[in-house]
Amino acid sequence: MTTTVNERPVAAAPIGAKVETPFRRFVSDFIESKLATGAFLVFLVIAFIALFAPWLAPSDPYDLAIVTVLDSHMPPLSESFDGRIFWLGTDGAGRDLLSAIMYGLRTSLGVGVMSGLIAMAIGSVVGLSAAYFGGRVDTLIMRIVDIQLSFPAILVALVLLAILGKGVDKILIALVTVQWAYYARTIRASALVERNKEYVEAATCLALGHRRILFRHMLPNCLPPLIVVVTVQTAHAISLEATLSFLGIGLPITEPSLGLLIANGFEYMLSLKYWISVYPGVALLITIVAINLVGDQLRDVLNPRLQR
Amino acid sequence: MTVFIIRRLLQSAVVVLVMSLLVFTGVNIVGDPVDMLINPEAEPAEIEQIKKNLGLDRPLHEQYGYFLANAAQGDLGKSFKFGEPALKLILQRMPATLELAVAALLLAIVFGIPLGVYAGLRPESPVSKTIMAGSILGFSLPTFWVGIMMIMIVAVMLGWLPSTGRGDTVPLFGIELSFLTLDGLRHLILPAINLALFKLSLVIRLSRAGTREAIHQDYVKFARAKGLKEGRVVLVHVLKNILIPVVTVLGLEFGGLIAFSVVTETVFAWPGMGKLIIDSIRELDRPVVVAYLMIVVLMFVVINLVVDIIYSLLDPRVRLQDVKS
């Protein structure tokens, strides 16, 4: 039997033209802002430097075989006795500042991103559960969230670090504790809207388990606002970690983050050896501002009220 | 209204209790209380004696009871370093911190509201865009870094203002204050600006968002239709309506200023409670740490309570909603 096959399948788009998918629309909306696109590229470069610091850095700032006190307090662009050039100068112990900043970025970004991801995981589960189960569970969880959010992040972190002491694991605990409530509140708000939609009702009628409905059906639909919170909170976490390390109650001296580098340089500030403190500060600043600019644009693009 | 206040009071009491439990168990379970509460240079016999005096040989729930009972009487232990009651040390430093926080809050309000309202009225003008870009920077720049830069530029390079300490103080009602002397005022400027920047950005954003929302409301259109002068529309109709969120947030943020003064005080060596707690954490002066945390938590709870009550007075919907539920 010969049937004439429809020569042009309906679904196929003309070759070369792009099908508009939500992701493509998101990308084209995002790159509308040149500032945000630039910030995103800057962030990619920073992330690259942080990831590959040991291979990119001119020297290992913590290798005692290379570092010598003879090189200490050298201004930017000066040359060491064995011919290496210190592009950004050296600190009080003779470490190459450029390398120290690269390693510091690694620590700062690592701690910030990791704490953000853990907090997001915890916050999402808690927030989704609150919205999905409602009633007492919801009231209890949201009361805890409200109470925690009524204390500023730095105070909560101060309480925890005063009790726990210094260390990477401890600062992670502090940063996660500070952040989870934001995620929980954000995801609960969008999950409350999603919960009453028909697809959730359909899934419930299919007798799917709670876990499947929560994570396979509701979570993906709650993601857009969460993405905004992730960027903003990561920037906050990096800034908070730097602050705590600067105060001397965050990371130990063995894990020199940018905050610690800045603190080390602070004492030389009054004798006008500005570079020891200023350059790590600039690196920190660029990181935080870049992430915030990306977050700002994401908020505009993903906000359903401003949808074009 | 009474129901509302009672509810809030109970909730506040619960928060204080939970925090005291957290701090207490934190100090007693996570670490060894003997290390934390007793001077490590003490003799063994002395340690036993102190242990007994502190009730450390008793079960934990009884110890917590003692801790609460003592705390209620204002006894939060003695500082290892200064050998004085921790509470007294903190109360001595409190005026300096409060002075700094109030100065910062005033700066944030005096500059923030006009700038924010302006940016809200003319969102497309270059001045507004500059204001908003500045507020993004104010949000993202870490306070301590801005402080360092201020010291470097204004104090070290230009030499205009001093960078450390409080300067001359004069007593007013028995409290030493800096802002009444010229020298004290010069010392106050940099730290106050530093502490204010974050809140300033917040006020700008709140007032701008509020203004942009308000100018499209019917009551503003009506006021314009009546032929009121633009100045009156802005100052009375718009400003009054954006004040509620601004006042609430600022009330809540006053506690934040006190918490963040930890950073500013450390950078500018301002002799307030914040610097005391950081020094105490570094030197493991646990009684001072515990006392500071308890006092700040108490302050926070009181501030939240007061803001809640004022808010419910300003906006009856809040308290009605709460009583119904």
Model pLDDT, residue A118? 93
Q: Do B144 and A247 touch (CB under 8 A)?
A: yes
Nearest to B281 among A239, A249, A272 (CB): A249
- Strand partners for B172: B175
DSSP letters for A22-52: HHHHHHHHHTT-HHHHHHHHHHHHHHHHHHT
With a threshold of 0.95, does the pTM exceed it?
no
Task: Name the residue among A147, A155, A262 with its Cβ closest to that of B296.
Answer: A155
Contact residues, chain A, for B144 at CB < 8 Å: 242-243, 246-247, 259, 262
Report whether B201 contacts B140 (CB < 8 A): no
Backbone φ, ψ for residue B259 (5° rounding): -65, -45
pLDDT band at B60 (very low <50, low <70, confident <90, very high): confident
Give yes or no for residue A90 having a pLDDT over 60.
Answer: yes
**CA gap B134, A106 in Å, rounded:** 28
Q: What is the ipTM of this complex?
A: 0.77
How close does chain B come to A286, measured CA to CA in Å?
Answer: 10
In the prediction, which pLDDT does B325 show?
Answer: 45
Of A150, A243, A293, the CB nearest to B142: A243
Q: Is the pLDDT of residue A184 over 60?
A: yes
Residue A160 is predicted with a pLDDT of 84
| Neighboring chain B residues of A289 at a CB cutoff of 8 Å | 136-137, 140-141
User: Using one digit for the tens of pLDDT, what is the confidence trace for A195-206?
Assistant: 888 888 888 888
For residue B27, the chain A residues in CB contact (below 8 A) are: 163
Residue with tokens 């003997």: B34
* Candidate from A163, A239, A272 with C-beta closest to B26: A163
**Average pLDDT score over chain A:** 79
Q: How far apart are CA A213 and CA A192, in angstroms?
A: 14
Contacts of B296 in chain A (CB under 8 A): 155
Q: Identify the CA nearest to B171 among candidates B102, B92, B268, B277.
A: B92
Judging by DSSP bridges, how do beta strands A85-86 and B175-177 pair with one another?
A: unpaired
Segment holding A90, helix H or strand E: none
Query: What's the pLDDT tens digit per position in A135-148?
Result: 888 888 888 888 78
Contacts of A266 in chain B (CB under 8 A): 148, 267
pLDDT at B319 (0 to 100):
58
B58 vs B190, residue with greater confidence: B190
Q: How confident is the model at residue B157 (pLDDT cuts 50, 70, 90)?
A: confident
pLDDT in tens, A229-247: 888 888 889 989 989 888 8
- Give B289 or A172, the one with higher predicted confidence: A172
The reported pLDDT for the residue numbered A82 is: 63
pLDDT tops 80 at residue A175:
yes
Give me the half-sphere count of Cα atoms (radius 13 Å) on the Cβ side of residue B174.
2
Q: What is the pLDDT of residues A12-50, one digit of tens each?
A: 555 555 667 777 777 777 777 778 888 889 889 888 888
* Least Cα separation, residue B236 to chain A (angstroms): 29
Q: A248 — contact with chain B (CB < 8 Å)?
A: yes
Tokens of A81: 């006795």
Query: Which pair of structure tokens corresponds to residue A66?
Result: 């290379």
Which of A230-239, A294-303, B34-43 is the least confident region? B34-43
Question: With contact defined as beta carbons under 8 Å apart, do A109 and A47 qualify?
Answer: yes
Q: What is the pLDDT of residue A136?
A: 87
Backbone angles phi and psi of B142, in degrees to 5? -65, 135
Rounded Cα distance, B242 and A132, in Å: 34
Quick check: B262 pLDDT over 70? yes
Q: What long-range pairs does B167-173 form, CB within 8 A, spacing at least 24?
A: none
Assess whether pLDDT exceeds 70 at residue B53.
Answer: no
B35 pLDDT exceeds 70? no
Among A276-285, B176-185, B199-208, B247-256, the range of highest mean pLDDT: B199-208
Contact (CB<8Å) B140/A288: yes
Contacts of B145 in chain A (CB under 8 A): 242, 262, 281, 284-285
B52 alpha-carbon distance from chain centroid: 37
Asked if A163 and B30 come within 8 Å (Cβ–Cβ), the reply is: yes
Q: Chain B: residue nearest A278 by CA?
A: B149
Half-sphere exposure of A74 (CA within 13 A, CB side): 25
Q: Residue holding tokens 């910062």?
A: B104
How many whole angstroms separate alpha carbon B98 and alpha carbon B274? 11
Closest residue in B to A246 (Cα) is: B144
Predicted confidence at residue A119, as pLDDT, reads 92
pLDDT of residue A114: 92
Do B132 and B209 contact (CB within 8 A), yes or no? Answer: no
Instruction: Report the alpha-carbon distance of residue B206 to residue B243 in Å, rounded.
Output: 9
Measured at the CA of A42, the angle between CA A37 and CA A45, to 5 degrees, comes to 130
Query: Is residue A152 within 8 angstroms of chain B, CB to CB?
Result: yes
Chain-chain contact of B263 with A150 (C-beta, under 8 angstroms):
no
Residues A277, B23: C-beta atoms closer than 8 Å: no
pLDDT band at B56 (very low <50, low <70, confident <90, very high): low
Are the beta carbons of A251 and A241 closer than 8 angstroms? yes
Flag if B300 and A147 touch (Cβ within 8 Å).
no
Q: What is the mean predicted confidence (pLDDT) over A185-193?
A: 86
Average pLDDT for residues B10-22, to the nearest whole number? 82
A169, amino acid identity: D
Of B195, B201, B232, give the one whose Cα is nearest residue B115: B201
**H or E, element range at A2:** none
Does residue A155 belong to the interface with chain B, where contact is any CB pair within 8 Å?
A: yes
Label residue B317 by pLDDT band (50, 70, 90). low
Q: Which residues in chain A are contacts of B156 at CB distance < 8 A? A: 269-270, 272
Q: Which residue has the tokens 């300067």?
A: B167
Q: With 60 as the cut, is the pLDDT of residue B30 above it?
A: no
Contact: B278, A162; criterion CB under 8 Å:
no
Residue predicted with more confidence, A86 or A216: A216
Q: Which residue has the higher pLDDT, B171 or B98?
A: B98
Q: Is pLDDT of B76 > 80?
A: no
Measured CA to CA, the distance from residue A307 to residue A303 in angstroms comes to: 6
* pLDDT classification of A150: cutoffs 50, 70, 90: confident
Residues A152, B259: C-beta atoms closer than 8 Å: yes
- What φ, ψ does residue A206 adopt, rounded to 5°? -80, 0
| CA-based nearest residue in chain A for residue B304 | A150
Nearest neighbour of A272 by CB, restricted to B156, B266, B296: B156
Which tens digit of pLDDT belongs to each residue from B159-172?
A: 787 777 777 676 66
Between residues B100 and B170, which one has the greater pLDDT? B100
Residue A176: predicted pLDDT: 92
Contact B143 A249 (CB under 8 A): no
Residue A147 touches chain B, beta carbons under 8 Å: yes
pLDDT band at A122 (very low <50, low <70, confident <90, very high): very high
Lowest mean pLDDT among A2-6, A197-201, A209-213: A2-6
Residue A1's pLDDT is: 46
Pairing of strands B175-177, B170-172: antiparallel
B66 strand-pairing partners? none
What are the chain A neighbours of B142 within 8 Å (beta carbons)? 239, 242-243, 246, 284-285, 288
What pLDDT score was predicted for residue B148? 87
Cα B27 from chain centroid (whole Å): 24
CB-based contact (8 Å) between A266 and chain B? yes
CB-based contact B143 A248, cutoff 8 Å: no
Q: Which of A35, A158, A257 to mutate to test the interface with B (most CBs of B within 10 A)?
A: A158
Q: What is the pLDDT of residue B90?
A: 86
Query: What pLDDT is stored for residue A87 in this prediction?
Result: 64
Give the up-direction half-sphere exposure of residue B71: CA atoms within 13 A in the CB hemisphere.
22
Q: Between A and B, how many CB-CB pairs are < 8 A?
A: 105
Residue ranges of E strands in chain B: 170-172, 175-177
Of B30, B141, B149, the CB nearest to A164: B30
pLDDT band (50, 70, 90) for residue A85: low
What would the mean pLDDT of A279-288 be, rounded to a whole number? 88
Task: Find which of A246, A264, A296 to mutate to test the B interface (most B CBs within 10 Å of its CB).
Answer: A246
pLDDT of B83 higher than 60: yes
Q: Give how far B99 is from chain A: nearest CA, Å.
A: 19
CA angle A276, A278, A279 (to 5 degrees): 80
Q: What's the confidence (pLDDT) of residue B307? A: 76
Nearest beta carbon to residue A284 from set B143, B145, B289: B145
Nearest CA in chain A to B144: A243
Structural contact between residues B62 and B55, judged by C-beta atoms closer than 8 angstroms: yes
Three-state helix/strand/coil letters over B92-142: HHHHHHHHHHHHHHHHHHHHHHHHHHHHHHCCCCHHHHHHHHHHHHHHHCC
3-state percent breakdown (helix, strand, coil) of chain B, nearest 5: 80, 0, 20
User: Is A242 close to B145, i.e. CB distance below 8 A?
Assistant: yes
